[in-house]
Amino acid sequence: MGLSPRLTGRVAARAHHSPAASAFLHKIEPFFAGSEVTGGPLLLATILALILTNSVWSAGFEGFWDTSLTIGFGAQSVSHRLAEWIDHALLPLFFVIVGADVKRELVLGPLARWRTAAFPLAGAIGGMVVPVGLYLAVAGGTPAAPGWGSVITTDTAFGLALIALFATRLPVGLRALMLAFAAVDDVGGLLVIAFAYSGSIDPWGLVTAGIALGGIAGLRRLGWISSVPYVLLALIVWGGVLESGVHATIAGVLIGLTVPVAPRLDQGRFAERVQQRVDEFQDAHGAAEEADDEEEELRQRERAEDRLGYLHEMASATREASSRLIEILTPWINYVVLPLFTLSNVRIHFSADLIGTIGSPLVLGVVAGLVVGKPLGFLAFTWLASLLGVAERPDQVTWRMVIGVGALAGIGFTISLFIASLAFGDGEMRETASLGVLIASLLAAGIGYAILSSCAEPRRAAEAPPQG
């Protein structure tokens, strides 16, 4: 995660004029300029939503997201509020990236061995069970009890952004550990949404989605290259899951897991296949430059273009589909999907009455579940799995780092707010739950950052921005 080489050079040059500004930009870079999902735009959207919700424009701001949008074809139509369309139609794109990224880490990355893959799986189970237990111990038997699902999930974007602040100063396996843990955590949250907070389930919608997933698998076995059929089938998967009554974000994870992580052509075979075409391109280009008449020049340039087309296709085949998909979707996720989700879902009206609920079972349950339950469950279950020999930590990842990841897992912002809205609807209980999520997320971020900062290697001179 980082700046492109071009932007890196520009930042280094500006450091000669303003070392202080360069050091500041170096710190905030992972929140905004990363090549992966980052938390900066999400943070700004959160601040903006809190400001507008507590301003004189509050009614108009919230009314906009509550505006009904109907999409119809003939006698059939679907109507949802704008906020619901964002939840159902845009948020699944984020989980497509999560699914594809997790699959890549499990197949090619630090979690490729089954015992290292079992480590975040065990942590995720503990990171769901223990927080729910603590929440119910505090809020069970009260009107706040239905909000137990809000302490299950982890905000992947914020967690990865905070880890990225340390760049190469922490092991590569730590990011993979956080990603895999958060992904399993989020899938658990989606299942909770599907079966605890959804209405009746339509099995035919799930059957439709399953058939479409089978179609994607079939096209992959046939070696189909064109992306159009895959996109159409992915839309059918999304529509089937949405129609079933299961939240559509689960469709995003399923689609992401179907994306290939291995290239169609490895570099060795690429080198064997393209050398002749490179020679033919050079011959055609040279012949076009030396041609005596326009007809011969045109013929040779067309021949050169033909060879270039072949080389372009072969070069494209050396990149795995998951990398291309993540590269395409990431800017939209960072700057459109997650900010819009936050703007439409963060509705906390600060008042004396709301502040007075800080000591309520609902707020205390959320804070206990996320700030205490997440790291406790993550550490306890991973330690037990390691002790039993069914799991092992990724290379160079220490137990202190594991605690840091568990603390960051307490940032339950995005989906926690969404589950709170499902549990309590619109009203005071939802605002109280949202306040608890906000407090817990701030505490978890601070604790996790402090722990990982103590684990990170000192910044080497080569990594520090130039000072003069």
Q: What is the DSSP string of 261-299?
A: -S-SS-HHHHHHHHHHHHHHHHHHHHHHHH-SSHHHHHH
Sign of the torsion angle spanned by Cα atoms 319, 322, 325, 327: negative
Residues 6+ apart with CB under 8 A from 370: 131, 151, 410, 411, 412, 416, 437, 440, 441, 444
Sign of the torsion angle spanned by Cα atoms 103, 105, 106, 108: positive
Sign of the torsion angle spanned by Cα atoms 196, 197, 200, 204: negative
Distance between CA atoms of 443 and 156, rounded to whole angstroms? Answer: 16
Query: For residue range 166-189, what is the model confidence (pLDDT) as tens digits?
Result: 756 778 778 878 877 877 777 777
**CA R_g for the chain:** 25
Distance between CA atoms of 131 and 149, rounded to whole angstroms? Answer: 9
The pLDDT-based confidence of 461 (bands split at 50, 70, 90) is very low
Distance between CA atoms of 222 and 131, rounded to whole angstroms? Answer: 45
Residues 6+ apart with CB under 8 A from 297: 288, 291
Q: How many CB atoms lie within 10 A of CB 319?
A: 13
Distance between CA atoms of 127 and 373, rounded to whole angstroms? Answer: 7
Find the mean pLDDT for residues 279-284.
85
**Run of H or E including 70:** strand 68-73
How would you label 222-241 residue by residue, b for 16+ Cβ within 10 Å and e otherwise?
Answer: eeeeeeeebeebbebbbbbb
Most confident of 53-57, 303-307, 353-357, 417-421: 53-57
Evaluate whether 389 touches 317 at the Cβ level (below 8 Å). no
Evaluate whether 425 touches 461 at the Cβ level (below 8 Å). no
Sign of the torsion angle spanned by Cα atoms 393, 399, 403, 408: negative
Evaluate whether 100 touches 257 at the Cβ level (below 8 Å). yes
Phi, then psi, of 113 in degrees rounded to 5? -80, 145
167 forms beta bridges with none
Find the mean pLDDT for residues 376-396.
90
Residues 6+ apart with CB under 8 A from 5: none
Find the mean pLDDT for residues 298-312.
87
Find the mean pLDDT for residues 208-234.
89
Q: How many CB atoms lie within 10 A of CB 105?
A: 25
The pLDDT-based confidence of 276 (bands split at 50, 70, 90) is confident
Q: Alpha helix locations (H) across 147-248?
A: 156-164, 172-196, 203-222, 228-244
Which is more confidently placed, 299 or 30?
299
Cα separations in angstroms, 221 against 14, 177, 318: 51, 30, 18
Measured N-to-C along each axis, helices 249-258 and 91-107 cross at an angle, to the nearest 10 degrees, of: 30
Query: For residue range 30-85, what is the model confidence (pLDDT) as tens digits?
Result: 566 556 667 778 888 989 999 999 999 999 998 999 898 888 777 777 788 898 88
Q: Is the pLDDT score of 354 beyond 90?
A: no
Evaluate whether 27 touches 165 at the Cβ level (below 8 Å). yes
Residues 6+ apart with CB under 8 A from 234: 212, 216, 255
